[in-house]
Amino acid sequence: MATEESSSRYENRSPDIPAEGLHQTGRWGLSINLATFLIGYSTAVISGALLYIEGDLDLDEAEQGLAVSVTLLGAMVAALAAGRMADRRGRKVTLGVAAVLFAVGLAIAALATSFGLLLLGRIVMGLGVGTASALAPTYLREISPVQIRGRMLTLNQLMLSIGMLTAYVVNLVFSASGDWRAMFWVGVVPAVVLALGATRLPESPSWLAGRGRTDEAREVLGSVAGAEGAEQVIERYRREDREQRRQQAREREPERQGWHALLAPRLRPAVVVGLGLAALQQFVGINTVLYYAPTIMERTGLTAANSIVYPDPHYAGAGDPSNSQRLRRPADRQPAAARQRSSTAVLRGASAAPTTDPTIASAG
């Protein structure tokens, strides 16, 4: 009995990974996390670009809202399908598909000459967002040794925020010229880098082992952990597969595939917690702030450039009343629709206002 427990502890012990193996895995993780960077960039870039798109493409408020939200609809559809694709085609191929979707979507948006083309570009971007968001954490977990797995998944969340921050900085850089197309073109660069990087990434050893391609899985693991470490991980995969089959036999349940696997009693708590956290993240309204803060600030009279910066409380001039006139947006730089609404309001106000000039009154 003691011998079995000792053997079990040895089998469960993570293999010792040399420093070079950890560095190699870290480089793979950075490439995979570039997909998460693009999630942040693609979702946030519209916030500043919308200030100029509404005038150039003459969008009304409903069309502006659709241009923003349709990306999330595309993401929802892609997230539902990405898991099945990753299971059938592999993590590496699916990551390459996400990169192509990002590049194509951003390019279509940059070249858009009509609302329909802009909408198409945003939908394709959303497909990339959904594919990457469903794939990246799984790929990182399966390819990272336990020694750096937490760091890789933490970096995954950090890259999302960095992508959003980069989008705001790019919006600010091009705000002086109003070149909203360049804001989208900048995002094509990391998308192309991701597509090229995906061709050099190894496939997930866990996925390879699950498909019976044990020799390929052993080769990937050996490049990081060495031959002995690779054998330990392969044995762990086999042991986990045997344990899963025994548990299914104890529960007298047939092997569930696809979405049905989420209905297994042992997975229900994790599913409830995961769905609850995802719902709460949306209900707090952070997406509204990310997408519409520049537009809201612009409606207060700020210039386009300052409406991009002004939501940041660290902006140096935010609390200085003397800056109020300098920050206001000149009328000749407002979108045509906004100028038309303002002119109409002024004319209506003038016709409705009572005449108090005695000269005009006597002339009447």
Separation CA 348–CA 353 (nearest Å): 9
- Closest by CA position to 101, among listed 82, 129, 73, 80: 129
The residue behind tokens 């659709």 is: 66
Per residue in 240-278, pLDDT (tens digit) is: 777 777 766 666 555 555 566 777 777 788 888 888 888
More confident residue, 9 or 300: 300
Residue whose tokens read 């010229």 = 177
Angle in degrees, CA 77, 54, 323, rounded to 5: 120
Categorize the per-residue pLDDT at 326 as very low, low, confident or very high, splitting at 50, 70 and 90: very low
Which H or E run includes 6? helix 2-12
Pair 171, 47: CB distance under 8 Å: yes
Which pLDDT score, from 0 to 100, does residue 306 have? 64
Average pLDDT of span 172-183: 92
Across the chain, mean pLDDT equals: 78
What are the angstrom distances between the C-alpha of 93 and each of 85, 132, 342?
Answer: 9, 12, 52
E strand map for the chain: none
What band does 196 get if pLDDT is binned at 50, 70 and 90?
Answer: very high
Of the two residues 180 and 281, the one the predictor is more confident about is 180
Q: What is the mean pLDDT of residues 229-249?
A: 77
Greatest mean pLDDT range, 168-177, 219-228, 247-256, 315-324:
168-177
How many Cβ atoms from other residues are within 10 Å of residue 285's Cβ? 9
The average pLDDT across 47-70 equals: 91
Q: What are the residue ranges spanned by the domains of the chain?
A: 7-201+267-314+324-335
Beta carbons of 318 and 307 less than 8 angstroms apart? no
What's the whole-model pTM score? 0.74
CATH of 7-201+267-314+324-335, one of 3.10.450.710, 3.40.50.880, 1.20.1250.20, 2.20.25.90: 1.20.1250.20
Residue 108 has which token pair?
Answer: 């279509």
Phi-psi region of 60 (alpha: psi -120 to 50; beta: other; left: phi over 0): beta
The C-alpha atoms of residue 104 and residue 123 are separated, in whole angstroms, by 10
Structure tokens given for 151: 């760091």
**pLDDT tens digit sequence for 67-83:** 998 998 999 999 989 98
SS3 328: strand
